Amino acid sequence: MSMERIIRSGERIALAHYHLDPEQWEAMLTAPGRALSLLSCWADEQRVYVLFLDGDCPLMASTPVEDRRYLAPSSRFPAAEWGERVAYDLWGVEAMSACGDGRPALDDGFWETTWPLSSRPGPGGQAMPLPAGRSRLRAETTGLSGPLELSFDVLRGAVQGLSVDAGLAHRGVLQRMVGLSPEEALPLVARMTAGGFVAHPMAFCRAVAQARGLQPGPGTRDAWMILLEIERISVHLFDMARTARAVDAGLLATHCEHAREAIAAACAEQGVPRRLTDVITCEGVRSGLEIVPLAHAVLEVMYSRMAQLRELQSVFAPRLKGLAVLAPAQAREFAVGGLVGRASGRSLDVRRREVGMRLDALRATGSSDGDAAARDALRLTEIRDSLALIKRILGSIGMDDDEPAPEATQEGIGAAEGARGDVWYWVRLKNGKIESVHARDPAVSLLPVLHRVLQGEAPERLSAGLKSLALAPSGVAM
C-alpha cells in the first residue's frame, strides 16, 4: 500500500486528519514507493503528529505516544528531526530510531526544569561549554524573539560542522494560546514573527474557520489576498536591503529601504498600522480598513520605483553569485518551500491552490541555481507579480464563487503563502476554546539543511549567506 492509502486506512477524525494505531504508523513510515512531502512534525505527551502535503492538499496523521516513546518520523523523513527534538525538550517524549545526534533543540542547560510541559518535569540541567576551537555567531533576529546562535569550526578558512542553538529564541507562545478563544489568541498569532504579521493570522484564521465549519466570503478572501501581497512586497524589500548591506551594496539597500518606508507611509495615511499588524480578524479585516484605497496607494508608490530597483539589483547581483547554495535535491528532500525553495527549482506556492486566486498574475519562476543571487532576483520578480496580482484582484474584487463550507469537526488546518514561505496552522477547539494548536513557520524547513548550505563558506560571508536565506529566529521556536 502507498503511504497515502495507509494514512487514509486509519480513523478519520477531521477533514484531513487520521488516527493511526502503532502498526499503521510503522507501516506508513516504511511504505515503499514515493514518500509524501513532510511539512511538520510535533508531539505532546499523548500523541505524535505529522503534517504532509499530498499534491496540493494537506494530509495529517497521528498515533499515540506509549510509555513516553514513539517511532520517529525522522527514520523516514530527516526533516522531522527538529520537531522531535523540540518535543523531547518540552514534553520529555522520546523518538525511537531517530536520525541525528540527539542534541537538544531548545534546552541549552539553563532551564530551571527539564520537560517543563510534562506532567512529570525533572530538575534543571547544566549548560555545556562550547568546545575549544569552535566559533559562535549570533544570528541577527528578523522577528520579535531572541536570536539563534550558530556554532561552527573553521578549517582552512572555511566553515565546518555548523550547528544551531535556538534556546534563546523560544517563547512558549503556542502553549499560552491553549484555553483562549481564537479571538483572544489572535493578537499573539499576529506577533509571531515580523515577517508574517499578515501571513500567520491568515493561516490561523483559515484553520479556525475550517474547525468551525465556516468559509470566508469572497470579499474577505480578496481583502486577505491584497494584504498578504502588500506584506510580501514589504518583506522582500526588507530582505533585499539586509542582504545588500551585507555585501556592501549600500545604494541598492537604500533604495529598498526607501521603497519599504513609502509603503509603510501609505498604510499609515490610510489609517492602518505601518506594518499591517492586527488587520486580520477571524471575521475578516479590522473595522474601518478600506482595502481598495489602500491597495491603490501601494501600487502608486511602488510602480515608479520598479525600474530603478531592477537596474540596481542586476548591477550588484555578481556579489551574491555562489553564496549559500541550496541544491535542488536538498530543497526537494527537506520540503523547503517559499522563495528559498523556488530559487532552488522547487515550485511550491500555496497561493496556487487557493480558491479565487488570479493565477495569470503569478508568472515568476525561480532558477535552479539556489544561491543568494537567485533568491535576490526572485524577490524582485515576485514583487512585480504581487503588484500585478493586486491590480487583478481590484478589477474583480469580491466576485462570488461556489466554494462550500466545510464540515464542522472542531479541528482545522489553515495555510498562507507568506513572503518567506508557507505558514501552516493546526487548531483543535473544545467548547469554543483552543484545546491544542501547532504552527509551522517556513524557517523550520531551513534548519535541517542550514549546515549543508553554509558548509565551506568563508566565515566573513556567513552573515550575508544567512541574510539571503531570511531565516527568522522568531519562526523557529515559538
273-283 pLDDT, tens digit per residue, is 999 999 999 99
**pLDDT at position 1:** 86
Please state the φ and ψ torsions of residue 99, each to the nearest 5 degrees. -80, 170
**pLDDT at position 135:** 59
Candidates 47, 95, 40; CA nearest to 72 is 95
Q: How far is the CA of 304 from the CAs of 264, 297, 384, 387, 411, in angstroms?
A: 16, 12, 12, 12, 45
Higher per-residue pLDDT: 404 or 140: 404
* Minimum mean pLDDT range among 69-73, 120-124, 246-250, 344-348: 120-124
Work out the pLDDT band at 89, boundaries 50, 70, 90: very high
**pLDDT at position 131:** 59
pLDDT per position as a tens digit, 119-153: 988 777 665 555 555 555 555 433 333 467 778 88
**pLDDT at position 99:** 87
Give dist(CA 182, CA 292) in Å, integer. Answer: 27
Evaluate if residue 477 carries a pLDDT over 90.
no
* Minimum mean pLDDT range among 41-50, 95-104, 166-175, 230-239: 166-175
Q: What is the pTM of this model?
A: 0.93
Under 8 Å between Cβ of 441 and 478:
yes
Q: What's the whole-number mean pLDDT along residues 95-113? A: 83
**pLDDT at position 140:** 47
Under 8 Å between Cβ of 365 and 341:
no
Please state the φ and ψ torsions of residue 60, each to the nearest 5 degrees. -125, 140
pLDDT per position as a tens digit, 5-52: 999 999 999 999 999 999 999 999 999 988 899 999 999 999 999 999
Evaluate if residue 412 carries a pLDDT over 60.
yes
The cell for 416 is 498562507
* Minimum mean pLDDT range among 31-45, 330-344, 350-364: 350-364
Under 8 Å between Cβ of 13 and 411:
yes
Q: What are the DSSP calls for 420-472, one per residue?
A: TEEEEEEEEEETTEEEEEEEE-THHHHHHHHHHHHTT--GGGHHHHHHHHT--
**pLDDT at position 137:** 54
266-289: burial string, b at 16+ Cβ within 10 Å, e else: bbeebebeebbbebbbbebbeeeb
**pLDDT at position 144:** 33
Give dist(CA 249, CA 329) in Å, integer. Answer: 30
Under 8 Å between Cβ of 40 and 424:
yes
**pLDDT at position 147:** 65
Work out the pLDDT band at 456, boundaries 50, 70, 90: very high
Evaluate if residue 392 carries a pLDDT over 50.
yes
Q: Is the dihedral of CA 6, 12, 17, 23 positive or negative?
A: negative
Mean pLDDT score of the chain, rounded to an integer?
91
Please give the CATH number for the structural domain made up of 3-128. 3.30.460
Evaluate if residue 303 carries a pLDDT over 50.
yes
Work out the pLDDT band at 341, boundaries 50, 70, 90: very high
